[in-house]
Structure 1
């Protein structure tokens, strides 16, 4: 066919070395196959992997140093950004070559048309960009000569989390890489301190800040068993980062070592802080306290008995007073009746004498 190929070729595995002429023929055929079989990236790809065409008859993964033979790689681990901050989505080509004059650099979501950023013919293409990324994205060009490019997303939002694809195209050849963005934030290491006695035990407080999304806070003893928290409060700042304050009341003096752990469910990571509670912080059971309670109870019973006795005495005294008054009244009545009887008896002889001394005697009185 009259095809001449430069014999400088890069292989990934040493055992695949073949004759230069045979590799030149394979590379040429693979290039023709790529032109016919290129398609969009599949959603089943994992972050950090690539999409490329391979000549079906030769299971080689060779990469040419020519401008059309390259692979695109993204970070193998998810990119993490806190809400309100910025996220950098980097991609690079291998072998390393300048991407400044590459025909198209595109970052999109799960579909090719969902463009996050498009750089074509050395210019940004705003018309193809989704409106939610307008004025929030920019291209990082400082490492173009090393074959590295990245998109910066400012003011990261919860809706930005998910899968992204970077698509590099030169002529009829294109490559893609998958990367993932997680909107999350690891907060500070929990701060644990003793608040003081409370509800018959000692209150311990755990504070931590700067988390997103809402973290899971757990108290554990020295054996790793979860201890139920007595209260929990959350506070969200202007950027959406969360501060938590969780308290625990320990009544069992045998539990001297407690750990407060804060877990981020999105990142699957946690931060923890342990604390040993000294014995003097626990309320002590004193025999004087028991004696005091017994004495207090006895005094209460004595007071109640005294009050009851005084009440009964007063009742008896009032009853006796009533009886004495009743007896006195009866004596007065008897005395009055006796005096009336004596008065009546003394008046009867005088009346008879008066009748006998009057003129006419009794007959006169009768005539009257």
Structure 2
């Protein structure tokens, strides 16, 4: 009886092991996901990889992506051979989709239009009729902040330079350098995180203006996401850069020249106008005098006072015509008329 019992127990154990072995051969699988963080930027898309091993056909399986402790409100749910569109967290609707060939065991998640709220852990869950597995993927959202703003404050013989930049995620690194590229390490750095998880950085540095023409403040996350600001460490500098001495001298000289021309113009323009007006008056007076002299020297012609006979008149007319052709002057014509007039008087006597 005891021997039979032992044989029965051995058979049962063998059957169980065979069943488990058969199940593991046909149904079991694992999920492969990347370790560490996956980096992505706000506003862009990202792929969260998840792959079955071995590469089984997952078309008839249930695939779910969810945040920790939120299984009932998944980011994406694939069930009954389709994605359940109206199920899950509303903030991911229209932005989450499966990526890859389900027949080859690819069950990756694609997220679009990323926001700061999307960063964190995501769980990949795959279940068949007899087996299930899950694995976690960590997403880190990077946000590039503002261009550093630098300001100056005099402190004795040195200058206190301040560098401020806002809106970074994760916490950025700040670096000070001089014009030769040497890193300046005597700075003080502070970080502050707001309600949205964005980090602001603020740093101070004491610097002597005689050490370098300018210094720079760089803030960034990596070599591709670095923003830099520069400042001239000059004393009494209200801005980040002062004009050179020759520019200031040129501006002062230009102002002086303009003032001299303005004064000269105000003094000489009225005199020039008076001189031109005087010349115009002289020219006008001279023209009027010329017209008056012309009227006096050329009086209107009058006929002879003494009555002449018809012969005398005809002869005088012929003589006047010949004389006019020869001399063509009004004065000579007048002299001839006087002579003819005298001759006529002598003939009458």
TM-score under structure 2 length normalisation: 0.45
**Under a length normalisation based on structure 1, what TM-score does the superposition of the two structures give?**
0.43
